[in-house]
Structure 1
Amino acid sequence: MDVITGIEQFAWIAWIALIAIFLVIEMLTLDFTFLMLGIGSLAGLIADLFGAELWLQVLIAALAAVLLIFLVRPPLLNRLRRGEDPTPSNVAALIGMPGLVLSTVTRLGGLVKLDNGETWTARTADDTASFPPDTHVRVDRIEGATAYVHTDADFPQEGQV
């Protein structure tokens, strides 16, 4: 028995192993990509059980996986995400949030108290600006544990009414 014949004879074991590996990865990622690859591998296993040549098994598995990824996965993801809360969370929720300068904010540092009650180290989004205490600002971006802020035109500044 030569190597090629041995591979073709026991290809079903490789297909089952691939299906198991893809399903375990899918359980960890929950993105439906590896589920589609697993179903494609199942198509390759079925082709093997019907006596198809190895090259045809691989072609059938690849074609099934690609079709599933592009035709079935997007509607499944839309259906899965249909009921999720669109409210931003974590750092995304801080972008655009108003705050009040506690200690002067420059390009080197400062402190800002955001409207959610958190106090953040802050820097100016514009390197030429400087914001004294009690200035209303808005978060431009977050990098690490630093909020980059700019003046908030929506709020009256100190001395204005």
Structure 2
Amino acid sequence: MEAIEQYAWIGWLAIIAVFLVIEMVSGELTFLMLGVGGAFGLGAGLVGAPIWLQVIVAAAAAVALLVFVRPPLLRRLRRGADDRAFNVDALIGLAGVVTETVTAMSGRVKLANGDSWSARVRGDRPLAPQTPIRVESIQGATAFVTTRSTEEN
């Protein structure tokens, strides 16, 4: 048991290294907090604490960091995230106009952003050229559209 206590610092370094590597892959700050908790256990061992106290110090520090430090850090990291839709999701709800008659099988529309898309309409009623439309959904390279009301124009 004396040898374990004497060389516990090697175990703590290994645990810290493993947690930091896992943190680099995950990026959620959980394993970073566990690694810092391990550093507290290492520190306790370096000042001469018995192994059971080192484990308690490491566990308490890790739990405290997970509860009190991780949530504000995550909020701060995500504070500047752009929550706007992009790519195909940004086209949903976009206005446009029919350029070639749109039926349940085919058609073309020009969207407000300047893109021209193949389009379909749900149902049997075709849309004539110059009809104002709104994009309901995108499936593959096809926009499913509906007519726009006069209030939306």
Q: Match of 1:53?
A: 52
Q: How far apart are residue 116 of structure 1 and its match?
A: 1.6
The match for 1:41 among 33, 38, 41 is 38
Q: Residue 15 of structure 1 contacts residue 42 of structure 1 at CA under 8 Å; is this kept in 2?
A: yes
Q: How far apart are residue 21 of structure 1 and its match?
A: 3.6
Q: Residue 8 of structure 2 contacts residue 51 of structure 2 at CA under 8 Å; is this kept in 1?
A: no
1:113 aligned partner, one-letter code: K
1:152 partnered with 2:141: no
Q: Normalising to structure 1: TM-score of the pair?
A: 0.61
Q: How far apart are residue 113 of structure 1 and its match?
A: 2.5
Q: 1:16–1:91: structure 2 CA closer, same or farther, 3 Å change rule? A: farther
Identity of aligned residues (%): 52
2:134 aligned partner, one-letter code: R
Q: How many residues align?
A: 149
RMSD: 3.7
| Runs of 5+ unmatched residues, structure 2 | none
Q: 1:150–1:74: structure 2 CA closer, same or farther, 3 Å change rule? A: farther
The alignment partner of 1:53 has SS state of: helix
1:137 partnered with 2:133: yes
Q: Match of 1:118?
A: 115
Structure having the higher Rg: 2
Q: Normalising to structure 2: TM-score of the pair?
A: 0.63
Q: How far apart are residue 76 of structure 1 and its match?
A: 1.6
Q: How far apart are residue 8 of structure 1 and its match?
A: 6.9
Tell me how far apart the structure 1 counterparts of residues 111 and 3 of structure 2 sit (CA, whole Å): 67
Q: Report 1:89-128 matches (<5 A).
A: 89-124=86-121, 127-128=122-123
Q: How far apart are residue 61 of structure 1 and its match?
A: 4.2
1:17 aligned partner, one-letter code: A
Q: Residue 101 of structure 1 contacts residue 134 of structure 1 at CA under 8 Å; is this kept in 2?
A: yes
